[in-house]
Amino acid sequence: MMDKSRRIHARWPSDLTVEVFSGPVGGVRIGAGVLIDLSLSGCLLRVRGMLKTGSTYRIRVNWKEGPLDLPGRVARDAGRSGSDPAARHYGLAFNLTYDQEKSLMRLIDLV
């Protein structure tokens, strides 16, 4: 039987805190969030406030190697968070450079 999963990369559970910025580069800090899960192609993000489906944002993870900026497009609004009624879950599809992908691989190894 063929696997009908659309995922190319495995997802890893996470509880990393991130900052969320408008736009792929530069942009204004619009809040903080938590990565619920993470892969090389995207993440599930819990954030207070509204993100616009189809728009590009940048999430910043601060970890031992320094800040890692990950640009991504909101692929879906997954609805309200059960644990925090003021927060929503969003699926982001990453658009990474080669160096960002290498750094993300190292981060995933630690998660």
* pLDDT value of position 109: 87
The Cα 25–Cα 57 span in angstroms is 8
Tens digit of each residue's pLDDT (9 = 90 or more) over 79-100: 887 777 889 999 999 999 999 9
| pLDDT of 1 | 37
The CA radius of gyration of the chain, in Å to the nearest whole number, is 14
Gap between the terminal Cα atoms of the chain: 31
The residue to which tokens 């204004």 are assigned = 28
**pLDDT computed for residue 110 by the predictor:** 82
Determine how β-strand 12-13 pairs with β-strand 87-94.
unpaired
- For 3-52, write each residue's pLDDT tens digit: 344 545 567 788 899 999 998 788 899 999 999 999 999 999 999 888 99
- DSSP one-letter string for 62-88: EETTEEEEEEEEEEEEEEE-SS-TTEE
Residue matched to tokens 């990565």: 35
Question: How high is the pLDDT of residue 89?
Answer: 94
